[in-house]
């Protein structure tokens, strides 16, 4: 396994992790740089970069470069398709949207992006990506059949299938800006069934919600909207501290 994946595993032996997601369509390179810098100061573990719409090309490169210049945290691409690849990033969640109804999001975009990942030497981290209701933009764009919130067993079956297919992370995604995060009962059942680290994101805005996800069994918590839409950099810092405290305990 590569450097970033090893870093994740080593840290997970000691604590739960907090990844901050920045969407290049929502933040300028300057804002991204400041948020990444603050994230590192307060103890966030990695920066994810991506989004479902417009997080491509120069806009994406500009944000990744700004983050690399302002912090030493690992940068992990979180692509909406093969367009979400930047040569400036350290690694990429090489993800398959397992509950998509469209093969493009299961294996098609992956094939279109694979040579680019190799050429740029970006570390691929294979990940099973599962969309849970409500799913928000990524659910719609990704042609997902979102897993009902009250059906934890379906999520667990997909998660285990992902692990058996060789994926080394499982991500339960309620969708960016979701009104409610993934239910703790679902997190708990998935965690009981799989052996690989479990990532949870979408709609996590408070320390209590982050804590509940961690207590249910999440290994890594992703927060985006709560930081990006905090209103000011000062408020973003307060949010980062609050969420980090919820996650690290
Ligand atoms: C979205 O899970 C991430 O892909 C983060 O969601 O923006 O709601 O924090 P939020």
ipTM of this predicted complex?
0.98
The bridge status of strand 198-201 relative to strand 169-173 is parallel
Domains of the chain in start order, with CATH, are 3-248 (3.20.20.390)
Question: Annotated binding residue at 71?
Answer: no
Q: Is there an atom of ligand 1 within 6 Å of 48 CB?
A: no
pLDDT value for 53: 87
Question: Annotated binding residue at 165?
Answer: no
Q: How many CB atoms lie within 10 A of CB 206?
A: 14
Q: Is there an atom of ligand 1 within 6 Å of 54 CB?
A: no
The bridge status of strand 75-77 relative to strand 220-223 is unpaired
Q: Is there an atom of ligand 1 within 6 Å of 134 CB?
A: no
pTM of the model: 0.98
Compute the average pLDDT of residues 21-48: 97
What span, in angstroms and rounded, lies between the C-alpha atoms of 77 and 67? Answer: 12
> What secondary structure does DSSP assign to 74-104, as a single string?
-EEE--SSGGG--TT-SEEEEEEETTBSSHI
Q: How many CB atoms lie within 10 A of CB 196?
A: 18
Query: In this predicted model, what pLDDT tens digit does every residue of 141-176 receive, in sequence order?
Result: 999 999 999 999 999 999 999 999 999 999 999 999
Q: How far is the CA of 178 from the centre of ligand 1 (A)?
A: 8
Q: Which atom of ligand 1 is nearest to the CA of 177?
A: 8
């Amino acid at each position: 396994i590569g450097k970033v994946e090893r870093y994740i595993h080593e840290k997970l032996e000691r604590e739960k992790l907090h990844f901050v997601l920045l969407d290049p369509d929502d933040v300028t390179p300057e804002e991204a740089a400041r948020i990444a810098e603050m994230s590192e100061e307060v103890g966030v573990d990695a920066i994810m970069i991506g989004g479902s719409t417009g997080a491509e090309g120069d806009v994406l490169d500009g944000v990744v470069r700004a983050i690399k210049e302002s912090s030493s945290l690992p940068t992990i691409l979180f692509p909406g398709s093969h367009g979400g690849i930047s040569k400036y990033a350290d690694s990429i969640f090489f993800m398959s949207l397992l509950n998509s109804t469209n093969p493009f999001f299961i294996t098609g975009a992956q094939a279109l992006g694979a040579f680019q990942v190799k050429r740029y030497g970006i570390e691929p981290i294979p990940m099973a990506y599962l969309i849970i209701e409500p799913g928000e933009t990524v659910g719609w764009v990704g042609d997902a059949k979102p897993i009902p919130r009250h059906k934890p067993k379906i999520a667990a079956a997909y998660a285990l299938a992902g692990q058996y297919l060789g994926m080394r992370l499982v991500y339960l995604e309620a969708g960016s800006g979701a009104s409610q995060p993934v239910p703790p009962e679902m997190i708990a059942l998935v965690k009981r069934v799989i052996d690989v680290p479990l990532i949870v994101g979408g709609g996590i805005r408070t320390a209590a919600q982050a804590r509940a996800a961690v207590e249910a069994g999440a290994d890594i918590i992703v927060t985006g909207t709560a930081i990006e839409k905090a209103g000011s950099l000062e408020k973003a810092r307060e949010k980062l501290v609050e969420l980090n405290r919820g996650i690290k305990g």
